[in-house]
Amino acid sequence: MVALDEEFSQKSRMITRSILQELKPVTDKFVEMYNNNEYHVRDVTDHVSNVLRKVEASIGQMSEQGEELVIALAENVQLRMSNKLEQYRQHMQIVVDQAREHSIQMGDMYRHYSDYVYNMSMPIAKIANDNYEKYMNQIDTENVAQLYTSAVYGAREVMNNGLDVLRSNRAYQHGENAYKYWEIRENVEMVAEEIADWIVVEIEKEIAEVKSTILNAIKSKITVMDLQNGEIQAEMHLPIPLKSLDVVPNVDFTPYMSRVQKYIPKMPSVSSILLPSFEGVAKIQGNTVTTFDGVTYDLESSCTYLLARDNTDYNFTVVLHKNENNNTLVVLADGKTFNIYSNGMISINGQMMELPVVMKDTIITSLDGMLNVNIAGHLTVELDTNENLYVVRMNGFYFGKTAGLLGSYDNEPSNDLMTSFGKPTKSLDRFAKTWDIGMESCR
């Protein structure tokens, strides 16, 4: 390393000497021209030197004047600030003094008012107290209990006399005889016992069904537990029948809840769908978009956007044609293109349809401004033409399998603003532009 530095220094010195040797004729010639004042070189050079010295002197003088000006300005500002602060302090002192005077005046007024109220209320209170004592003195407390007892026994006597009159009535006698002859009490007791027995039987049936379900669940057991090789097998006894393991069933608890509510009328309502798959619900109303995970934002630009798409099996794609507040929803599914217009009209593969429409896996109905499009069980689109509201309901089977302006449907609102490149962003404009699939530029 030292040898390299020495070699580099030596090369630099050689280059420097070579350059000086090359420039020496030039510098000698320039000195000669200056000495002989050829082409007025000396005059020009001397003039430039004089100008530079004057400029330097002017700059020095300006610098000194600038410093003096800054000092004078600072002193002026300081003086003005001091005067303003003193004026502010005096003003605040005046305000504090006035506030103190008002406080003293308010205290005097409160004491005066309190004395006035006391003087006004004392005579009234004395009169009320005197009247109360006078009234209490007039009451004969010794006879009150006797009068109360007499009233009670008098009422009892009046009631007994009335019952005696009723018993002497022929209609009452006929009714009493009929009650005894028809054995109404015995018949009522017999019917009540039969109803109680029937209720016990029904409850035992219900308990037996519940018991059977619980016993089936208890029968479930683990058959293989090989943690070393990462294998666990279990035998599961399900409480409900399954047609396929690819789709998690919807369990309708309405019949069971109806039975339970016969015995517990005030039981709170329970949703009939209690097991997955929970459907995803998103909304588009005018410029407002609500994702499957509940994030709400405004979509201002007029473009063609990808709302949602099945990223796994590509069973469907939902597109929004947005032209200011006029929205058209397009669904590509089951080999068809469904155009759902904001006025409640619908076309399939470009052909306008008359409703209702019933196809192999698609049902389209319309009633009182509400359009319902159920497409192959994958998703349902509802349109409220009165509110310009689109509701997209997606089968829970697609949980975590979608992407687009309606989010990823994974119960994680924090990642709903995900660009088409899979990058989260806080910019709504950038987020929307990455999902623009139109051929024209957005407006």
DSSP symbols for 347-379: EETTEE-PSPEE-SSEEEEEETTEEEEEETTTE
CA gap 354, 366 in Å, rounded: 10
Residue spans per domain, the chain: 8-85, 218-269, 280-434
Cα dihedral 205→210→213→218 (10° resolution): -120
442: closest CA among 300, 316, 264, 306? 300
Average pLDDT value for the chain: 76
Confidence of residue 199 (pLDDT cuts 50, 70, 90): confident
Please write the tens of the pLDDT for every residue from 231-284: 888 777 666 666 666 665 666 555 555 555 555 555 544 444 444 457 899 999
Nearest to 318 by CA among 283, 345, 286, 277: 283
- Please tell me the distance from the alpha carbon of residue 206 to that of residue 260, in angstroms, as a whole number: 9
pTM of the predicted model, to two decimals?
Answer: 0.41
pLDDT digits (tens, 9 = 90+) for 132-189: 566 566 655 556 556 656 665 666 666 666 666 555 656 555 566 655 555 556 666 7
Phi, psi of 246 (to 5 degrees): -80, -20
